[in-house]
Structure 1
Amino acid sequence: MRCHGNPFSRRGFLAAGALGGLGLSLPELLMRQAMAEQKNYDFVKARAKSVIHIYLPGGMAQQESFDPKPYSPLEYRGELRPIKTKTGEHFCETVPQLAKRNDKFSVIRSMTHGEAAHERGTHNMFTGYKPSPALRYPSFGSVVSHEYGPRNNLPPYVCIPNVPNEFAGTGYLPSSYGGFALGSDPARSDFKVRDLDLAGGVTDERFMRRKAALEIVNNKFVSSTGADNVGAMNTFYERAYSLLDTPQAKEAFDIGKEDAKMRDRYGRHDAGQRLLMARRLVEAGTRLVTLTYGSWDMHTNITTGFRSQMPKLDQGLSALIDDLSSRGLLDETLVMVSSEFGRTPKVNKDAGRDHWPKVFSVMLAGGGIKGGVIHGASDSTAAEPEEDAVSPADLATTMYRLMGIVADKELMAPGDRPIEIVDGGKLIKPLMV
């Protein structure tokens, strides 16, 4: 969405000369063009007000989830059976509840990149960039926090239960755009979000006196230094005060206020309660929630691993889709389920699958995504993309556009280097409403 006119062309100089006669110089003209370009960025229509990014660390197998290969030999297809979805596609038997709801979400079966190491694959799927030794890129949540800031006094970027990895951070952006971590699992009976209550014996009046005194000290200290961590800490304090001063914002973190039957629908386990907490937060105003569930690095006994872990995710994710839909929130909330890569086409000697970044699956729902679409395809053994390959940059570009952010907008890295939010990604238009 950039202005591509050349201000140094003959027409540009003629325009500058004409405007100069009216008192507008060439530098002022160029400044106005830059401002117009920025306005173009700002007026991209947002379909999604929030994102719930469900990350499955370790590398979830495409064959045992959304891309079974029922007609390939046993050593490729594995032991688990395919089942038909509501729209007639095939998923693996591990996701029976999601199969009944696949008209409400879409699956990309042709995700691909070249990074077979966990850390490098994770970097791709949290930033949209290949790892670089020269620069640390910001995560999706930090970019969204930078572009939009808080809403309803809630942190714009929240991690459940903790910041999941080093690539979920701010990268080259100031650390004030980091994620707010709950610090505890919502599934725990003693769950409590840290730092959301006044210390024992501190009244509201005493708190306000402390706050006023601290502001005087902080303002003096911040004005005397340009250090990022000092400014970030001041920002964190201000946001913490906003939370403490806003009962409605604090209540979003209190999962105990949720109806008991709804908690049961999601499942009284780590997957279900993390997903329920994510719904509470986006409904209250958080812009991007990242949550993790499970360990999908199944080099051994993959059938047992999926039968153990996937039922909780199937239950909780199905409940999330139903819940968002019934509340009228699905159209404005993008749900994204991803992992750092997939698993090898062939089952190994230990009845597991190894790392495989060449092709894997991602699920998307709501927030401007069509339902019931299978985008792209892997080949007969889930070894390579057969059609419509999708890169992490494409996925990131599409996610940002749905949120109203133009992915090739330039942010400033250290040394005043302009860096595009995503470099070279394409919109996945067949998935977009």
Structure 2
Amino acid sequence: MNPKTSCPGNPLSSPMSLNGSRREFLHVGLLAGLGLTLPEFLKMQAQGAQKHYESKEGVAKSVIQIFLPGGLAQQESFDPKPYAPSEYRGPFGTVKTKLPGVVFSEHMKHLAQMADKITVIRSMSHGEAAHERGTHNMFTGYRPSPALQFPSMGSVVSHELGSKNNLPPYVCVPNVPNIFAGSGYLSTAYGPFGLGADPARGDFKVRDLNLPQGVDDERFHRRKSMLATVDAHFRSLEKADTLDSMDAFYQHAYKLISSQKAREAFDLSKEPEKLKEMYGKTQAGQRMLLARRLAEAGVRFVSLTAGGWDHHDNIKEGIQGNLPAVDKAVAALLKDLEQRGMLDNTLVMLTSEFGRTPKINKTNGRDHWPRVFSVMLAGGGVQKGLIYGKSNALAAEPEEDKVGVQDFATTIYHQLGITADKELMAPGGRPIEIVDGGNVISDLLI
């Protein structure tokens, strides 16, 4: 069973229906003439109310979420079991890390040399063995519910902290990876901005950030003035609250397009070739390089995916084809952030929806296993050189310091200055805590 990579029914993948004379006029007339077909993220902001953001201070100013879809095997990554029987140990050897007595899988030689900069949790656990449900857990901090769609961490960050430097607060690279990465019961105004293109492509260019051919700055601002006039006219005829949110949407769109600094945040051509090589000219490498660039520019939450990890068959080939590039790219990201003085205030998290079964199966793979798996944290006020928690001898169960998704999410929010037990309003005015019952894992933090 493969993880979902698209979002059928997600408002982010569908054009906004602009009903009524005012909306139709704006969409077909002014906006069509200007060529402003911004991604669905910005279109859907029209449905969100304006918000006055409280000033908050957290240790972490940005989060880079690296999600490995499919289920990364703990045994073939951060928690090898070199003394287990071969059918449990798997096909690979180990590599020594900078931490005495700690080894990683042999295909993690770069991160092994960065082990004194990171925290590895070897005792992550939940009870959801299906891809969709496990992904929901890791993106939201909640178990799935048939009654309510919970917002992703990125959307909560967008809701609580707002935008900075005219940039979207929550960006997905290259696209919104699954429905659980969305805004849930929150307004779609807080949903992610998907790039619509992969930074690993040689012709990478973010859709709709540049003015269309034939529209110069003068024409752009003239059209903006005309739109303001039309807004004022229709506001006198209609008093719906959605008109104010529509105005907020257009202002955000104009700021993003008219700000040279905002547009340049997405421009990988500004990075030197030597740095691109350090990350690796791979899918993982270029996505992580862009993530660093976005965090540096002011994006609060960058979420990216890399590779495919659902290795039910031939896990040896699957790991060999995926892990070396990710290992190199993550290590380069950490080095780059540190050299720029950004690591202390940028929280990097490497996660997957669950782990893999302790025993190799009949097709030389491993199946779904949520009982214990490994995740990595770095920067953003997290301890350096820490192995937290422990799995048992076969990587089948947590043996020490079990970590659940609620505590994990609460700790991430805490580092951003967000109170996880704060109540947000779901449809119908029902108050829902950002995380229900989680605690900050203080041992992970500096």
TM-score normalised per structure 1: 0.88
Counterpart selection for 2:324 from 311, 316, 319: 311
1:260 CA displacement: 1.0
Aligned to 1:77: 89
Matched letter for residue 79 of structure 2: D
Counterpart selection for 1:354 from 363, 367, 379: 367
Aligned to 2:384: 371
Q: Return the alpha-carbon distance in structure 2 between the equivalents of residues 278 and 78 of structure 1.
A: 33
Contact kept, 8 Å, 1:138 with 1:173, in 2: the verdict is yes
Aligned to 1:301: 314
Q: Return the alpha-carbon distance in structure 1 between the equivalents of residues 165 and 181 of structure 2.
A: 23
Q: Return the alpha-carbon distance in structure 2 between the equivalents of residues 393 and 411 of structure 1.
A: 16
Aligned to 2:341: 328
1:239 CA displacement: 1.9
Q: Return the alpha-carbon distance in structure 2 between the equivalents of residues 269 and 319 of structure 1.
A: 13
Q: 1:143 to 1:347 in 2, by over 3 A?
A: same
Counterpart selection for 2:417 from 404, 407, 432: 404
Counterpart selection for 2:69 from 40, 57, 82: 57
Matched letter for residue 170 of structure 1: S
- 2:237 corresponds to 1:225: no
Q: Return the alpha-carbon distance in structure 2 between the equivalents of residues 231 and 273 of structure 1.
A: 38
Aligned to 1:156: 169
Aligned to 2:138: 125
Q: Return the alpha-carbon distance in structure 1 between the equivalents of residues 240 and 213 of structure 2.
A: 33
1:82 CA displacement: 1.6
What's the CA shift string for 1:6-29, capped at 9, x where partnerless? xxxxxxxxxxxxxxxxxxxxxxxx
Q: Return the alpha-carbon distance in structure 2 between the equivalents of residues 113 and 212 of structure 1.
A: 53
Counterpart selection for 2:227 from 210, 214, 226: 214
SS of residue paired to 1:164: coil
1:65 CA displacement: 0.2
- 2:78 corresponds to 1:66: yes
1:430 CA displacement: 0.9
Pairs within 5 Å for 1:183-198: 183-198=196-211
SS of residue paired to 1:54: strand
Q: Return the alpha-carbon distance in structure 2 between the equivalents of residues 47 and 419 of structure 1.
A: 25
Contact kept, 8 Å, 1:176 with 1:231, in 2: the verdict is no
- 2:261 corresponds to 1:248: yes
1:339 CA displacement: 0.5
What's the CA shift string for 1:259-291, capped at 9, x where partnerless? 111111111111000000000000010000000
Q: 1:149 to 1:384 in 2, by over 3 A?
A: same
Question: Which consecutive residues of structure 2, in runs of 5 or more, have no partner in the other structure?
Answer: 1-52
Aligned to 1:25: none
1:292 CA displacement: 0.4
Larger radius of gyration: 1
Q: Return the alpha-carbon distance in structure 1 between the equivalents of residues 325 and 93 of structure 2.
A: 19
TM-score normalised per structure 2: 0.85
Q: Structure 1 segments of 4 or more deviating over 6 A?
A: 41-44
1:225 CA displacement: 3.2
Aligned pairs, number: 391
